[in-house]
Chain A
């Protein structure tokens, strides 16, 4: 009884606390000064056609680095806690030949699409994270179709560490050669709207894409091996 009363009182207090969020929020009529600067000067300053990318990779580059680090820690944790079973213990049920043939046909296209998404991150919607996830989903399809697929974990670890290290190195280059950490103007901005433009953004996003893809494939590999 007392317990229920305490719960009800807590809920009511929480509701009173959160009430202003509903009653007092008005829709924004103008962009804040920071957003205005991004919108008006962003495409000229950084040369990226997709404004979202220039915010994610350059203006808020440090946040993106943090996100990648969080993903890395999550992957490391999953690899640490899921014990691997010896190979003989796992039951192997084969997928139907329909799935296998479909995978052989679709896998190159999925990979190509993933690479396209992160290479064109500065021109079209999408970027490193999305491209990495698309590549990981391609590997997942491969795992589902051929149960005894072996992922070479050494290559995964190398791709992940090398791309992560180069990400940081490019960031430091930005600190030395241009305006600040992860500044993309260490390379010429190029012609607006072309593939090789927007300075270092395509390189950074490709590195993020490889890193995210390798990390997610690592997670899936660990989940599958531990069964």
Chain B
């Protein structure tokens, strides 16, 4: 049962990874990369590694996404000036 769940989550992760690569809208791509981290943290919990899961959820899907969004915002402002 757990194995099945992990396989399903892994497939969703791969789909999200392709979305992050091929999506033209950068905002969606950033959100998709955050989704990958969130699903990875769920898999860590299922594999009995709560310590790693906490780090992954907080840094991977929380802070990294925000830092990407700040960077995206900055790039947009620079482009708007030109």
Contacts and interface: CB of A to CB of B under 8 A. Distances in A.
Interface of A: 50, 52-53, 117, 125-127, 129-130, 133-134, 136-137, 140, 216, 219-220, 223-224, 226-227
Nearest to A56: B51
Given A130-B55, A137-B63, A226-B74, 17 more contacts: A53-B51, A117-B54, A125-B51, A126-B51, A126-B54, A130-B58, A133-B58, A133-B59, A137-B58, A216-B63, A219-B67, A220-B63, A220-B66, A220-B67, A223-B70, A223-B71, A224-B70
A144 to B, nearest CB: 9
A130 B51 contact: yes
Contacts of B58: 130, 133-134, 137
Contact of B54 (A125, A216, A223, A226): A125
B50 A140 contact: no
B82 interface: no
Across the A-B interface, give the 8 residue pairs with the lowest CB-CB distance, nearest first: A125-B50, A133-B58, A223-B70, A130-B54, A125-B51, A52-B51, A126-B54, A137-B62
A224 B62 CA distance: 16
Interface in B17-56: 50-51, 54-55
Interface residues of B, number: 15
A140 B63 contact: yes
A122 B46 CA distance: 21
B79 interface: no
B70 A227 contact: yes
Interface of B: 50-51, 54-55, 58-59, 62-63, 66-67, 70-71, 73-74, 77
A137 B61 CA distance: 11
22 contacts: A52-B51, A117-B54, A126-B50, A126-B51, A129-B55, A130-B51, A130-B54, A130-B55, A130-B58, A133-B59, A133-B63, A134-B58, A137-B62, A137-B63, A140-B63, A219-B67, A220-B63, A220-B66, A223-B70, A227-B70, A227-B73, A227-B77
Contacts of B63: 133, 136-137, 140, 216, 220
Nearest to A137: B62
A117 B50 CA distance: 12
A136 B63 CA distance: 9
A143 to B, nearest CB: 9
Nearest to A219: B67
B6 to A, nearest CB: 15
A185 to B, nearest CB: 22
